[in-house]
C-alpha cells in the first residue's frame, strides 16, 4: 500500500498539476492564435466594459432572462459550481496534505460542511444526468462524451465521500479517489470542462457584440 499510495499522492500529483496548468495555458494561447487567424473581428469588437457587464450579469443567480425561465436548473447549477470549486480547495484533508508536504496552509471548511457540500455536488450530477435522459431538447444535444465528462466530475466526490466515511474497501477507494481527482484536473483543459477557462471570453465577447455593436442587453 505504501508504494501505490506514495506514487499516486506524489509524482502523479505533479504530473496532473503540470498537465492541468500547462494545458490551460496552452489552450488559451492556441485559441487566441486561432481566433486571430480565422475570426480577427473578435479582437476589434472585444470591449472590456461591456464584457465585464455581461459577465457580472451571468455570474449572479437570476440576473438573466434565461435563468428566470429555468429556476430549478439555475439553483442546481449555482449550488453545484460553488461546492465543486470550494470543497477541493478548502477541504481539511487536502489542506493538511499540502501543509505536510510544503508547509503552507490556509482557511478550511469543517468536515461536516464539506460533507454536505459533497452531497450537493453528487446530487447535482444526478440531476444533470436525469435531465439529459429525460428532457427531449437536452437529449437531442447529448453525446456519449457528455456522460463520460459527468462521470469524471462526479467520481472524485463519490470516492472522496466513500473514503471519508470509511465504507467497505475505503483504503483502495482512497487510492481511486486520488487517481480520479487527478484525471478530473487533467480533463479540464482538454474536454468541454474547459468552459472553466473560456467562460469569461465567450461571455465577454457576447457582451461586447451585443453591448457595443447591437446596443442591446445579452442577459
Partner 1 sequence: MKKKIWTLCSVFVAAVAVIVVTAYSQENVKSVQDSAFKTKMRPGAVFLHDEHNKKAEIDDCGTCHHVYKDGFKVEDETSEDRECSECHKIDGDPVPLVTKYHLRCKGCHEEKKAGPIMCSECHVR
**Burial (Cβ within 10 Å: 0-12, 13-18, ≥19) of residue 136:** exposed
Q: Who's near 82: CB < 8 A, 6+ residues apart?
A: none
By CB under 6 A, tell whether 79 contacts ligand HEM.
Answer: no
Q: Among 5, 7, 17, 43, which residue sits at the site for partner 1 (rule: CB under 8 A)?
A: 5
By CB under 8 A, tell whether 89 contacts partner 1.
Answer: no
Question: How many residues touch partner 1 (CB under 8 A)?
Answer: 22
Classified as helix, coil or strand, 215 is coil
Torsion of Cα atoms, 191 then 192 then 195 then 201, to 10°: 90
Minimum separation from the CB atom of position 137 to partner 1 (A): 44
Classified as helix, coil or strand, 167 is coil
Question: How many residues touch ligand HEM (CB under 6 A)?
Answer: 38
Site string for partner 1, 132-171 (x = CB under 8 A): -------------------------------xxxx---xx
By CB under 8 A, tell whether 174 contacts partner 1.
Answer: yes
Cβ pair 218, 211 in contact under 8 A: yes
Binding footprint of partner 1 on the chain (CB under 8 A): 1-2, 5-6, 92-93, 95-96, 99-100, 103, 105, 108, 110-111, 163-166, 170-171, 174
Amino acid at each position: 500500500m505504501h508504494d501505490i499510495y506514495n506514487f499516486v499522492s506524489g509524482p502523479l500529483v505533479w504530473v496532473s498539476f503540470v498537465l492541468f496548468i500547462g494545458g490551460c495555458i496552452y489552450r488559451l494561447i492556441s485559441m487566441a492564435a486561432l481566433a486571430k487567424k480565422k475570426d480577427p473581428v473578435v479582437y476589434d469588437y472585444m470591449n472590456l466594459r461591456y464584457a465585464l457587464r455581461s459577465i457580472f450579469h451571468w455570474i449572479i443567480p437570476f440576473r438573466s432572462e434565461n435563468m428566470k425561465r429555468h429556476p430549478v436548473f439555475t439553483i442546481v447549477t449555482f449550488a453545484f459550481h460553488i461546492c465543486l470549486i470550494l470543497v477541493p480547495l478548502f477541504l481539511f484533508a487536502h489542506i493538511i496534505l499540502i501543509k505536510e508536504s510544503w508547509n503552507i496552509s490556509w482557511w478550511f471548511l469543517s468536515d461536516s460542511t464539506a460533507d454536505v457540500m459533497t452531497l450537493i455536488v453528487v446530487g447535482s450530477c444526478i440531476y444533470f444526468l436525469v435531465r439529459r435522459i429525460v428532457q427531449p431538447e437536452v437529449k437531442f444535444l447529448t453525446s456519449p462524451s457528455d456522460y463520460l465528462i459527468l462521470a469524471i466530475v462526479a467520481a472524485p466526490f463519490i470516492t472522496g465521500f466513500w473514503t471519508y466515511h470509511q465504507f467497505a474497501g475505503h483504503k483502495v477507494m482512497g487510492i481511486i479517489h486520488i487517481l480520479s481527482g487527478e484525471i478530473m484536473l487533467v480533463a479540464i483543459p482538454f474536454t468541454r470542462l474547459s468552459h472553466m477557462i473560456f467562460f469569461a471570453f465567450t461571455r465577454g465577447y457576447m457582451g461586447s457584440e451585443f453591448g457595443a455593436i447591437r446596443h442591446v442587453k445579452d442577459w
